[in-house]
Structures are given as C-alpha cells and as structure tokens.
Amino acid sequence: VRLKDHIDKNILILDFWASWCGPCRRAMPLVAEVAERFADRGVILYAVNMRETPQKAQAFLDSQNLSIPVLLDRNGQVGALYQVTGIPRLVLVGKDGLIKSIHPGMSANITERLTSEIEALL
C-alpha cells in the first residue's frame, strides 16, 4: 500500500495497533464502524499491526468479526515514520496526502471526534 496511490481519491484512517493492547482492542471496532459509515464517500481504514504475525492479527479480527485490511509493520519502520510512540494511535490523512489529525490512546469520544473530523474533510 502506497500513500501516493490514494492522493486526490481517499481519506485514510491509519490505526496503529497490536492484538495484546487492551485499548487497541476496544478502539478498533469503534473506528471500523466510523470508517464503514463513510466508505461510500472514499474513506478507507487500514489497521497497521505493529510487530505481530499475520496469524495473531487475523485471530483478533476473527474474534471481533471485523473485516479490515491489515498492513503488517513487522519491524516498526512505518510506525517510526509516523512517530508512533504508543498504541493505539490513529492517524487521519486527507485526500491531499497530509496528516490532518492524530489521536494517541483510546478516548471515550473517539467515535464522535473521528466522525466530526471526517465530515469536515468531506
């Protein structure tokens, strides 16, 4: 997956996570729900798994009945590029390819905040 392929086409939500991370496990279904609401308007969610095997990532998605594209950051390089120092971390990227917001950790109002930010970008 290359960011430049989405420029002028999509708004991206990058959800940096790992299956062992409790806040990640709580946030991902909420983020997936928001992304699904806007999917027909060009919003794409990529779950960027940090340093886990494909089997671990898929086992978590299966347990939550989630169907989300997972990108594997096996050595943490992508996380380093996005300055991910803790997970979960959501990065919202506009159609222009620029980062529009960053959400570190799990917040109680993530659904409302993310929805509002996406609506503003659309």
Q: What is the DSSP string of 15-28?
A: EEE-TT-HHHHHHH
Length of the chain: 122
- Residues recognised as catalytic: 21, 24
**Tokens matching residue 87:** 């997970």
Name the β-bridge partners of 48: 16, 71
Q: CB under 8 Å, gap of 24 or more: what pairs does 38-43 form? A: 38/11, 38/118, 38/122, 41/122, 42/9, 42/10, 42/11, 42/95, 43/10, 43/11, 43/12, 43/13, 43/118
